[in-house]
Chain A
Amino acid sequence: MKRMAMLVAAGALMALPLAPAKAETPPDTLVMAWQFDDIISLDPAEVFEFSAAEIMGNTYERLIGYDVEDVSDIFGVVAESWDVSEDGRTITFQIRQGTKFESGNDLTAEDVVFSLQRAVKLDKSPAFILTQFGFTADNVEEKIVQTGDYEFTFEMDKAYAPTFVLYCLTSTVASVVDKDLVMENDVDGDLGYEWLKTNYAGSGPFAMRQWRPNEAVVLERNENYAEPTPLTRVIYQHVPETSTQRLMLERGDIDIARNLGPEEISALESADGIKINSGDKGGIYYLGLNQKNENLAKPEVRQALKYLVDYEAIADTIMKGQVQVHQAFLPRGFLGAVEETPFSLDVDRAKELLAEAGLENGFSVTMDTRNTPDITAMGEAIQQTFAQGGVQLELIPGDGAQTLTKYRAREHDIYIGRWGPDYQDPHTNADTFAANPDNSDDAAAKPLAWRNAWEIPELTEKTASAVLETDPGTRATIYQELQKEVMDTGPFVIMFQEIEVMAMRDNVNGFVIGPSFDANQYWKATKE
């Protein structure tokens, strides 16, 4: 038995140096390491997660697109042109001819109308982006109507600002699906829902071939796409540990590492054969101060806490390269975004304000903190500076789902969170930071203002009026006023805007980092 063990041992040792001398991914394949355990569906009518949104953006086409460099530049993708009726309530779209789905079917107005109606009827999480224009499962067939092979009309309940409507149609929920293919897989009238969750029926530059949850997503070139992509294949590999992602990138087993931390990025900046790309994202990091807490409900306290965060130091150290200081609820690049940052760490000012509130000796408060490294690190840094002002902050760690459950039930004191816009129109964030139609506990809508029990009837009305304002200049002014109001008095300590950083092998070119995840594009990416 001993001899046998020796033999096995020798065998095992000899088998060890098995890996190829030089690791390299195939030249026509782009391999990315990314944490994508958030994907629960690949049906564009349901997708609402960052990673799935990026996949949708590269595999499906939407009616409208925007220039990722200049978000205000809107153009048709599936739509060739559009006309707004005089009363401003109906838009007539002309569909571009000659587009084919990956299946070989022609893309016509029938598919577009089907896709929009389907999203409304299925009524999944992102459906509100469409239903906010007055559609319901019952009326959508009369409101979104096919009027020709390549023409349809889109009739809304009010005369919304056209740019607002068009931006909403750039989101993934407005992706066009292949009606014939989807309906072949219809089971008991589910509009192909069960099937499309894990399958593909689109016309984008890449076709989704395979999704193995927590393992890999494989995309392949769509040969029917107008401009065939240089890459044959794109593979997302789920690699949960960031240190592992880094080692794989250094070794050349992957082309892009998507989740590296600031220190890992700085270490790779000088590494051979690796380059760092980054781009602004719309995500906003903020603290939500629950107004049900009697201390946090005092205006001076809200103000004081805004002076007790060392924005600059956090952005320069713990979150270096991952965030920039930003204190308004609209991210840079949005219509009317305010870029001033009036708050910085000022302990004396904060103490004065606390004294005015009758809290000379400070107070104790808790903060629900997601247990990811970046959020925890920010929480600890904030804890330090709060303490300087006499505010004892207790951090309560938890999983994402756990802290979120508590936040949505308004059981927190302070919540440290990240909010990403749902589409590129300012209404998406105004509607959550500056609107709270019903502050009762069983309200139907639960925007961030509601979650922090901030009762603001006037601001709510103002936010609602902004979407009906057709003049872009006036509209921008309204949003600026809203942001300033929230900045001065609101229960949100808005701190940072997110930057997305990727480390990639230096032979990768043409990967575009857009302002939102569904705008990260790689259909022109190459590897030389």
Chain B
Amino acid sequence: MAETHSPARRPTWREWLTDTEPASRGQARLGRAYLAWRSFTGNPLAMVGLFIVVGLVLVAIFADVLATHSPIAGGDLRTERLKPPSAEFWLGTDHQARDIYSRLVHGSRLTLMVVMLVAVIAMPVGLIVGTVAGYVGGWVDAVLMRVTDIFLAFPRLILALAFVAALGPGIENAIIAIAITSWPPYARIARAETLTIRKSDFIAAVRLQGASTARIIARHVMPLCMSSVIVRVTLDMAGIILIAAGLGFLGLGAQPPSPEWGAMIAAGRQHIIDFWWVATMPGIAIFIVSLGFNLLGDGLRDVLDPKAAK
């Protein structure tokens, strides 16, 4: 950054991005993002997390190519059941003589879908409820926070169970149920953040300029709350995967024979002592993916949440 601007030469992308005197809002934003990316890539663990998550996405996309067997159709019950890992079945077979490796590969799609949809549904809800409650205050705050508390006070797995029971089993309903139980903590975080920034000078300045409440919340409060909520959501991904697994474990997640990882563990738990691989392999898969999201969340926190980064 010591270089001076030379009108004879167009600045490189890097220079443009790291310019200390950005010429436009867009440049400033991109510049910030670039710096964040740089600090992110400097963190090896965060990179491992990113690598795992990207890997998950790739596996999900190329599942058909990667799988060696059908994830659904089983082999011969008498001869190919509960086989240990081998050259033919890389991670062994389950109680229906299905190839566990191929099921895991295809199951990645379900896992990814659960995680993404829950984030897409729960995060905006939490963000809106939290910022509106925190910014508007008064009885709106009281009402919204009571509703939040009601949902927060619910036993979480039990609420999800109840919703799945009411909506009928299946992966889509499991996702809705998990989303319904996930937003309250985000709302509380967003509210807490909003409370600390709503009295700040720049909000007062924006208000004096005549901005509407909705605009202030949407354009000025929400973006500031966003980072801590995103961090929390990423850290929660592991929990979401585990709740989905818990529902699968109780037989209320994905429908058999779909290769949902939690349901695979549940089906394998009867064999855990003699045929360890049946329950352990999906357990390891869940562990690795959760790990990936956690590392990614940690890295994101360091980058996006300056208070924790110092």
CB–CB under 8 A between A and B in the complex? yes
Residues of A at under 8 Å CB distance from B?
Answer: 241-243, 246-247, 261, 263-264, 267, 310, 313-314, 316-318, 369, 371-373, 376-377, 379-381, 383-384, 387, 394-399, 402
Q: CA of A371 to CA of B255 in the docked complex: distance in angstroms?
A: 10
Cβ–Cβ < 8 Å partners of B165 in chain A: 399, 402
Given contacts A394-B255, A397-B255, 13 further A-B contacts (CB under 8 A): A243-B269, A263-B270, A313-B78, A316-B78, A376-B251, A377-B267, A380-B74, A381-B77, A384-B73, A387-B73, A395-B255, A395-B256, A399-B251
SS class of chain B's interface: helix, strand, loop or mixed? Answer: loop
Partner of A310, one of B77, B168, B252, B274: B77
Cβ–Cβ < 8 Å partners of B271 in chain A: 263
Partner of A243, one of B82, B168, B251, B270: B270
Check if A397 sits within 8 Å of B252, measured CB to CB. Answer: yes
Q: CA of A395 to CA of B78 in the docked complex: distance in angstroms?
A: 23
Cβ–Cβ < 8 Å partners of B273 in chain A: 243, 246-247, 264, 267
Check if A376 sits within 8 Å of B256, measured CB to CB. Answer: yes
CB distance from A319 to the nearest CB of B (A): 11
Check if B257 sits within 8 Å of A263, measured CB to CB. Answer: no
Cβ–Cβ < 8 Å partners of A402 in chain B: 165
Cβ–Cβ < 8 Å partners of B257 in chain A: 380, 383, 395
Cβ–Cβ < 8 Å partners of A372 in chain B: 251
CB distance from B228 to the nearest CB of A (A): 29
Check if B77 sits within 8 Å of A396, measured CB to CB. Answer: no
Q: CA of A381 to CA of B274 in the docked complex: distance in angstroms?
A: 22
Among A242, A316, A376, A395: residue with most chain B CB under 10 A: A376
Partner of B272, one of A243, A369, A381: A243
Cβ–Cβ < 8 Å partners of B78 in chain A: 313, 316-317
Cβ–Cβ < 8 Å partners of A387 in chain B: 73
Q: CA of A375 to CA of B58 in the docked complex: distance in angstroms?
A: 35
Partner of B256, one of A247, A397, A399: A397
Cβ–Cβ < 8 Å partners of B251 in chain A: 371-372, 376, 397-399
Cβ–Cβ < 8 Å partners of A381 in chain B: 74, 77, 96
CB distance from A411 to the nearest CB of B (A): 11
Partner of A263, one of B77, B252, B255, B275: B275
With A243-B273, A399-B165: A384-B96 Cβ-Cβ less than 8 Å: yes
Partner of B74, one of A373, A379, A384: A384
Q: CA of A243 to CA of B266 in the docked complex: distance in angstroms?
A: 12
The 7 closest A-B pairs by CB, nearest first: A371-B251, A317-B77, A313-B77, A261-B270, A267-B274, A395-B256, A397-B251
Quick one: which of B230-270 are within 8 Å of A by CB?
250-252, 255-257, 267, 269-270
Proximity string of chain B (90-127) to chain A, C-beta cutoff 8 Å, 1 when within and 0 when not: 00000110000000000000000000000000000000
Cβ–Cβ < 8 Å partners of B250 in chain A: 371
Check if B252 sits within 8 Å of A377, measured CB to CB. Answer: no
Does B85 lie at the interface of the complex (its beta carbon under 8 Å from any beta carbon of A)? no
What are 13 pairs between A and B in contact, CB < 8 Å?
A: A243-B269, A243-B270, A261-B270, A264-B274, A317-B78, A373-B270, A380-B74, A384-B74, A384-B96, A387-B73, A397-B251, A399-B251, A399-B252
CB distance from A90 to the nearest CB of B (A): 51
Q: CA of A267 to CA of B272 in the docked complex: distance in angstroms?
A: 12
Check if B95 sits within 8 Å of A379, measured CB to CB. Answer: no
Cβ–Cβ < 8 Å partners of A376 in chain B: 251, 256, 267
Q: CA of A264 to CA of B81 in the docked complex: distance in angstroms?
A: 15
Q: CA of A397 to CA of B273 in the docked complex: distance in angstroms?
A: 26
With A313-B77, A313-B78, A373-B267: A398-B169 Cβ-Cβ less than 8 Å: yes
Give the contact-size bracket for chain B.
Answer: 20 to 34
Q: CA of A402 to CA of B250 in the docked complex: distance in angstroms?
A: 13
Q: CA of A383 to CA of B274 in the docked complex: distance in angstroms?
A: 26
Quick one: which of B118-172 are within 8 Å of A by CB?
165, 168-169
Chain A residue at minimal CB-CB distance from B273? A243
Cβ–Cβ < 8 Å partners of B267 in chain A: 373, 376-377
CB distance from A242 to the nearest CB of B (A): 6
Q: CA of A377 to CA of B1 in the docked complex: distance in angstroms?
A: 65
Check if A242 sits within 8 Å of B256, measured CB to CB. Answer: no
Cβ–Cβ < 8 Å partners of B274 in chain A: 263-264, 267
With A318-B95, A371-B251, A381-B96: A396-B169 Cβ-Cβ less than 8 Å: yes
Q: CA of A373 to CA of B273 in the docked complex: distance in angstroms?
A: 16
Cβ–Cβ < 8 Å partners of A383 in chain B: 256-257
Chain B residue at minimal CB-CB distance from A369? B256
Check if A377 sits within 8 Å of B169, measured CB to CB. Answer: no
With A369-B256, A376-B267: A314-B77 Cβ-Cβ less than 8 Å: yes
Cβ–Cβ < 8 Å partners of A263 in chain B: 82, 95, 270-271, 274-275
Cβ–Cβ < 8 Å partners of A380 in chain B: 74, 96, 256-257
Cβ–Cβ < 8 Å partners of B73 in chain A: 384, 387
Q: CA of A380 to CA of B168 in the docked complex: distance in angstroms?
A: 19
Q: CA of A469 to CA of B1 in the docked complex: distance in angstroms?
A: 105
Check if B272 sits within 8 Å of A397, measured CB to CB. Answer: no
Cβ–Cβ < 8 Å partners of A314 in chain B: 77
Cβ–Cβ < 8 Å partners of A313 in chain B: 77-78
Cβ–Cβ < 8 Å partners of B82 in chain A: 263
CB distance from A272 to the nearest CB of B (A): 16
CB distance from A287 to the nearest CB of B (A): 16
Chain B residue at minimal CB-CB distance from A260? B270
Check if A317 sits within 8 Å of B81, measured CB to CB. Answer: yes
Among B73, B81, B96, B269: residue with most chain A CB under 10 A: B96
CB distance from B256 to the nearest CB of A (A): 5
CB distance from A45 to the nearest CB of B (A): 32
Among A371, A384, A397: residue with most chain B CB under 10 A: A397
Check if A318 sits within 8 Å of B169, measured CB to CB. Answer: no
Cβ–Cβ < 8 Å partners of A243 in chain B: 269-270, 272-273
Q: CA of A325 to CA of B73 in the docked complex: distance in angstroms?
A: 24
Check if A242 sits within 8 Å of B81, measured CB to CB. Answer: no
Q: CA of A263 to CA of B165 in the docked complex: distance in angstroms?
A: 31
Q: CA of A239 to CA of B256 in the docked complex: distance in angstroms?
A: 26
CB distance from B80 to the nearest CB of A (A): 10
Chain B residue at minimal CB-CB distance from A371? B251
Cβ–Cβ < 8 Å partners of B255 in chain A: 394-397
CB distance from A255 to the nearest CB of B (A): 20
CB distance from A335 to the nearest CB of B (A): 35
Chain A residue at minimal CB-CB distance from B95? A377
Q: CA of A336 to CA of B255 in the docked complex: distance in angstroms?
A: 40
Chain B residue at minimal CB-CB distance from A242? B270
With A263-B270, A314-B77, A318-B95: A379-B169 Cβ-Cβ less than 8 Å: no
Partner of B252, one of A247, A261, A267, A371: A371
Cβ–Cβ < 8 Å partners of A398 in chain B: 169, 251-252
CB distance from A403 to the nearest CB of B (A): 10
Chain B residue at minimal CB-CB distance from A384? B74
Cβ–Cβ < 8 Å partners of B275 in chain A: 263
CB distance from A117 to the nearest CB of B (A): 41
Q: CA of A179 to CA of B270 in the docked complex: distance in angstroms?
A: 46
Q: CA of A381 to CA of B257 in the docked complex: distance in angstroms?
A: 10
Q: CA of A499 to CA of B272 in the docked complex: distance in angstroms?
A: 24
Q: CA of A297 to CA of B96 in the docked complex: distance in angstroms?
A: 30
Q: CA of A264 to CA of B95 in the docked complex: distance in angstroms?
A: 13
Q: CA of A154 to CA of B254 in the docked complex: distance in angstroms?
A: 55
Q: CA of A264 to CA of B270 in the docked complex: distance in angstroms?
A: 8
CB distance from A250 to the nearest CB of B (A): 9
CB distance from A330 to the nearest CB of B (A): 28
Check if B77 sits within 8 Å of A318, measured CB to CB. Answer: yes
Cβ–Cβ < 8 Å partners of A317 in chain B: 77-78, 81
Cβ–Cβ < 8 Å partners of A246 in chain B: 273
